[in-house]
Amino acid sequence: MNKKWWQNEVVYQIYPKSFFDSNNDGIGDIYGITQKLDYLKELGITMIWICPIYQSPMDDNGYDISDYENIHPDFGTKEDLEQLILEAKKRNIKLIMDLVINHTSDEHFWFQQALKDSKSPYRNYYIFKEGKDGHPPTNWRSVFGGSTWEKVPHEDNLYYFHSFSKKQPDLNWENPQMRQELYAMINRWLEKGIAGFRVDAINFIKKDQRFLDGDIDGSDQLSSCFDYCRNIPGLEVFFDEMRKETFDKYDCMTVSEAVGVDYPNVHSFIGEHGCFSMMFDFNYTNIDVENEDVFKPLNWSVKEYKELLFKSQTEIQKLGWSAPFLENHDQPRCVNKLIKDKKYHDYYGPTMLATMYFYLRGTPFIYQGQELGMLNFKRTSIEEFDDINAHAQYQRALEEGFRKEEAIEFLNNRSRDNSRTPFPWKDDLYGGFSKHQPWILMNENYHKINAMAQVQNPKSVYAYYQKMITIRQQSEYHDTLVYGTFEPLESDDEIICYKRCYAKQTVVVICNFSSQKKSIKMRSSIKKIILNNYRDIWFKECHLILNPYQSLVIEL
């Protein structure tokens, strides 16, 4: 694979509503991000991905866009965004935006026109269908619960389709005119000097045109829509056209959200003929729940996780580039998800996880607060949750027969709100995020876990991330850690061990994923210890003894 500039980036994901509130209205904003650029520069990242900041009624916190060309006033103005791009550039930080083109808001002009007038060309921008015998056209369940079909007001038997909430009608990608409108919009944004896009739910754009009922798989008598509107053959035709009409014309970086993609289909997403620069592979991300339902927890093992992780790396390496991540705004905090022994949640757990994913082959993404080792919260009632999906999953859990307390426990472990709590800048009122009551409750532990405490402490999770980034970006190991091949190494079931090789250099990453001491036989001698999350390293004969959740990066 030819070297590309975007392979060198380290991306930091910002959830703008919760990053920093510069005007003290309780909601984070664009100028707040600008004010914190020096913090990000110090950390060492080179690119920011901002979740949607466009005009939106905020049914799904901005993933329901009512105007692609304008900024939501809660976040600021177009001028604020221009200033952010400029100030970031001064610090050599690039910016990518979120591109949400599977659906719009129902308050988008196109949809409003489509509802108003059956003769309007905008009708065909969305998916409208007649119901069957007094029922919706199919029995599909939307991602946020309930039918994927919503009845059109004042029409006898007409429904529109939505994969997510009913306020997020899906666009009809079968319509070439609609596609051209989207491409023009994408190009307008690229002209403004952004470095590219994170592309939302893009594997939903093709629907199974037969519109058949699926097998019922829940007490709601519905069938998950995934088999009918996600990763459907024909997707690659849209991808091809979009790439040629937009991304190919710019030297931009694109990263696709790609949940549930099988490896034989990865070539449409990445590599020489793929649509995007890189992809988020979720095949090992949702290991702890079945079918992304929070009330269906799975008892996973490190061995399974390792197998999935290695498969992802080796399959993607065959043709393209990946985007390793541990967290995002849809995931709970990784320490709670992946470190089973709470005793290690403070330092060794988060730093071991960081080492494990950060040196995988790909462009690493860090989600805000991950660099502080932020943890999940504890809520006691459903009213304390904001997320539309948390409410939907709560309802479904009750329908499936769980008690309220059990449903809340599922949400405490897995709700998307866990990663959306305001960023804890310091141990002050509202964590220094705002002087106003934030839009969503803080995570109470901000007194202990906050940026100010960690930036000043050389033994903090933050300091570890800083060091880890410097090693990837600026050390003599740069080429190996960025361009090197990935090779899995055999080890104990609870140790994740792999190597990266480039030219004559070999770097090995060893992570003890358990609260037990483990030993590992060394077949070659260690030339240098590049990174260690413990102070020391222990040997016994030719065995390396690993402490609980110890991680090492060594040169052989």
Smallest separation (angstroms) from ligand NOJ to the CB of 329? 6
> Rg of the chain over CA atoms, in angstroms?
23
Smallest separation (angstroms) from ligand NOJ to the CB of 62? 9
Smallest separation (angstroms) from ligand NOJ to the CB of 448? 28
| Contact by Cβ (8 Å): 61, 50 | no
Binding mask 120-149 for ligand NOJ (x = CB under 6 A): ------------------------------
The active-site residue, picked from 74, 257, 281, 293, is 257
Using CB positions, name the residue nearest to ligand NOJ. Answer: 63
Strand (E) or helix (H) holding 51:
none
In the list 9, 29, 200, 281, the residue contacting ligand NOJ (rule: CB under 6 A) is 200
- Of 103 and 123, the one with the shorter C-beta distance to ligand NOJ is 103
**Contacts of ligand NOJ in 397-436 (CB under 6 A):** none
- Of 230 and 361, the one with the shorter C-beta distance to ligand NOJ is 230
- Of 9 and 200, the one with the shorter C-beta distance to ligand NOJ is 200
| Contact by Cβ (8 Å): 107, 160 | no
| Contact by Cβ (8 Å): 88, 48 | yes
- Of 259 and 495, the one with the shorter C-beta distance to ligand NOJ is 259
- Of 80 and 330, the one with the shorter C-beta distance to ligand NOJ is 330
> Per the structure block, which two tokens stand in for 481?
């850690």
Q: Say whether residue 199 binds ligand NOJ (CB under 6 A).
A: no
Smallest separation (angstroms) from ligand NOJ to the CB of 397? 19
Instruction: Quote the CA–CA distance of 298 and 288 in Å, as a whole number.
Output: 5
Binding mask 223-262 for ligand NOJ (x = CB under 6 A): ----------------------------------x-----
Instruction: Quote the CA–CA distance of 350 and 336 in Å, as a whole number.
Output: 9
**Cβ neighbours, 10 Å, residue 455:** 18
Using a 10 angstrom Cβ sphere, with 0-12 exposed, 13-18 middle and 19 or more buried, the burial of residue 260 is: middle
Which residues have a Cβ under 8 Å from the Cβ of 525 and sit 6 or more positions away?
A: 556
Binding mask 334-373 for ligand NOJ (x = CB under 6 A): ----------------------------------------
| Contact by Cβ (8 Å): 281, 312 | yes
Of the candidates 7, 114, 70, 2, the one whose C-alpha atom is nearest the C-alpha of residue 361 is 7
- Of 367 and 464, the one with the shorter C-beta distance to ligand NOJ is 367
Q: Say whether residue 63 binds ligand NOJ (CB under 6 A).
A: yes
Q: Which 8-state DSSP code applies to residue 230?
A: S
| Contact by Cβ (8 Å): 128, 111 | no
Instruction: Quote the CA–CA distance of 164 and 170 in Å, as a whole number.
Output: 8
Query: What is the side-by-side order of every strand in the sheet holding 149-151?
Result: 128-130, 158-161, 149-151
| Strand pairing category for 518-521 and 543-546 | antiparallel
Using a 10 angstrom Cβ sphere, with 0-12 exposed, 13-18 middle and 19 or more buried, the burial of residue 414 is: buried
Smallest separation (angstroms) from ligand NOJ to the CB of 427? 30
**Contacts of ligand NOJ in 66-105 (CB under 6 A):** 100
In the list 21, 29, 60, 494, the residue contacting ligand NOJ (rule: CB under 6 A) is 60
- Of 269 and 348, the one with the shorter C-beta distance to ligand NOJ is 269
Smallest separation (angstroms) from ligand NOJ to the CB of 553? 31
| Contact by Cβ (8 Å): 38, 86 | no
- Of 387 and 494, the one with the shorter C-beta distance to ligand NOJ is 387
In the list 164, 305, 439, 513, the residue contacting ligand NOJ (rule: CB under 6 A) is 164
Identity of the amino acid at 231: N
Smallest separation (angstroms) from ligand NOJ to the CB of 145? 13
In the list 21, 59, 150, 330, the residue contacting ligand NOJ (rule: CB under 6 A) is 330
φ, ψ for residue 522 (rounded to 5)? Answer: -100, 120
Smallest separation (angstroms) from ligand NOJ to the CB of 192? 22
**Cβ neighbours, 10 Å, residue 406:** 13
Of the candidates 322, 556, 353, the one whose C-alpha atom is nearest the C-alpha of residue 465 is 353
The active-site residue, picked from 106, 170, 200, 387, is 200
Smallest separation (angstroms) from ligand NOJ to the CB of 537? 40
Instruction: Quote the CA–CA distance of 160 and 310 in Å, as a whole number.
Output: 41
- The CA–CA distances, whole Å, from 72 to 153, 393, 452, 480, 520 equal 28, 28, 30, 42, 54
Smallest separation (angstroms) from ligand NOJ to the CB of 408? 21
Total interface residues for ligand NOJ by CB under 6 A: 9
Q: Is 200 a catalytic residue?
A: yes
Q: Say whether residue 111 binds ligand NOJ (CB under 6 A).
A: no
b/e map 503-528, b = 16+ CB within 10 Å: eebbbbbbbbbbbeebbbebeeeeee
- Of 200 and 293, the one with the shorter C-beta distance to ligand NOJ is 200
In the list 65, 84, 114, 201, the residue contacting ligand NOJ (rule: CB under 6 A) is 201
**Which residues participate in catalysis according to the annotation?**
200, 257
| Binding region for ligand NOJ (CB under 6 A) | 60, 63, 100, 164, 200-201, 257, 329-330
